[in-house]
């Protein structure tokens, strides 16, 4: 490294109880190590914020090991190579990496993917052309398996996963019903994303509105939320309905069991009587077999406008914690990314 480099990092300062607050996060500035052979110095351009991060902040057993207190918050990033000791990368290259909540990082040049700004805006590598888009693609097509004429419902429908689910369902000949919070998001589902119907889960008549929007019931429900939304949807499921379970964001900040009677026996009765298929999944289960198909198909759909997307861009690494809280509570609209540094591809 020709000059000493420092990075500003946001760390997990304490495990949150309920919603993460200011005490959950710490900020440190530290020196980076000298570049070794095969490594590059990366400047963070965009940082992805995703719901799964809340689970990794907890010590509870899950599909992946929890982050350690004091560790840099992890996450996917779009970065610019600013120095290189690798034949694989040159200065100025833009890459998809996993360097987390920090301004600069030293990384092995093998552990990143090249990005082509001419093909699509580089931020899409964190959203519709990245992990969220692949989550929608794999979960819907491999577990949901929508058929022409069937009804596909999805919660958190204006998010990066939900909006892709509905649009892919339409491309496969199904009817898409989106569930979102607020009139603006519901209007966008119809006018911007091409859903057939949209239902506001904040409405006092949500259950009646859902019934009206799904006159023939629901054949595929892509689960992102859980909670009262799932309870309402479960009563509209058809025989042999399929439920890919991607996330349960309504429960991520919960500190106690839900109030009211235990509804599990009633739901399990519907599982039996309707021959329902329910499968939780993590997107990387499908990477080896289906990622190449996703890159080819989704890239073409985005290029020709068959799949549209929105991004919720927040400026400044120091605003990442508040943006993260907002995402968990639904204050965002679209894929949440933090613009950590200047985008060299922007005009």
2, 28, 1, 53: which is closest to 323 by C-alpha?
A: 53
Q: Which CATH superfamily is domain 131-284 in?
A: NAD(P)-binding Rossmann-like Domain (3.40.50.720)
pLDDT for the residue 329: 86
The pLDDT assigned to 233 comes to 96
Q: Which residues of the chain have pLDDT under 70?
A: 1-4, 249-262, 347
Q: What is the pTM of this model?
A: 0.88
Q: What is the Cα–Cα distance from 103 to 121, expressed in whole angstroms? A: 20
C-alpha closest to that of 324 among 43, 25, 105: 25
Predicted confidence at residue 258, as pLDDT, reads 60
Which of 346, 324, 310, 281 is closest to 128 using CA atoms? 310
47 CB contacts (<8 Å, ≥6 apart)?
75, 76, 77, 100, 101, 126, 317, 320, 337, 338, 340
Task: Give ranges for CATH 3.90.180.10 in the chain.
Answer: 6-127+310-339
Which helix H or strand E contains 218, and what residues bound it? strand 218-222
First to last CA, the chain: 30
Residue ranges, CATH 3.40.50.720, the chain: 131-284
Report pLDDT for 347.
Answer: 64
Whether 128 contacts 300, CB under 8 Å: no
User: ∠210-211-214 over CA atoms, to 5°?
Assistant: 85
Q: CATH top-level class for 6-127+310-339?
A: alpha beta
Are β-strands 39-48 and 335-339 bridged in parallel, bridged antiparallel, or unpaired?
Answer: antiparallel
Instruction: Return d(Cα 320, Cα 248) in angstroms, integer.
Output: 22
């Amino acid at each position: 490294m020709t000059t000493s480099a420092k990075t500003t990092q946001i760390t997990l300062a304490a495990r949150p109880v309920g919603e993460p607050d200011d005490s959950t996060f710490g900020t440190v500035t530290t020196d980076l190590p000298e570049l070794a052979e095969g490594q590059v110095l990366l400047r963070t351009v965009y940082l992805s914020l995703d719901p799964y991060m809340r689970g990794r902040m907890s010590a509870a057993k899950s599909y992946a090991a929890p982050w350690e207190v004091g560790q840099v918050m992890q996450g996917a990033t779009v970065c610019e190579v600013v120095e290189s000791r690798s034949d694989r990368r040159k200065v100025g290259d833009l890459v998809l990496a996993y360097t987390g909540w920090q301004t600069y990082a030293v990384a092995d040049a093998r552990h990143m993917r090249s990005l082509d700004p001419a093909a699509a805006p580089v931020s899409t590598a964190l959203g519709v052309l990245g992990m969220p888009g692949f989550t929608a693609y794999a979960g819907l097509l491999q577990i949901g398996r929508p058929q022409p004429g069937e009804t596909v419902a999805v919660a958190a429908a204006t998010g990066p996963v939900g909006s892709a689910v509905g649009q892919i369902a339409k491309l496969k000949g199904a009817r898409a019903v989106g569930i979102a919070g607020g009139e603006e998001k519901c209007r966008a589902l119809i006018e911007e994303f091409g859903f057939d119907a949209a239902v506001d889960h904040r409405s006092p008549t949500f259950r009646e509105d859902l019934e009206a929007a799904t006159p023939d019931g629901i054949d595929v429900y892509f689960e992102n939320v859980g909670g009262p939304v799932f309870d309402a949807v479960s009563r509209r499921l058809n025989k042999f309905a399929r439920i890919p379970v991607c996330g349960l964001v309504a429960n991520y900040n919960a500190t106690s069991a839900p109030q009211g009677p235990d509804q599990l026996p009633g739901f399990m009765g519907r599982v039996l009587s309707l021959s329902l298929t329910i499968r939780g999944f993590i997107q990387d289960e499908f990477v080896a077999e289906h990622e190449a198909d996703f890159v080819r198909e989704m890239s073409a759909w985005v290029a020709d406008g068959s799949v549209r997307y929105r991004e919720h861009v927040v400026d400044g690494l120091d605003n990442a914690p508040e943006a993260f809280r907002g995402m968990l509570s639904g204050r965002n609209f679209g894929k949440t990314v933090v613009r950590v540094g200047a985008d060299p591809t922007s005009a």
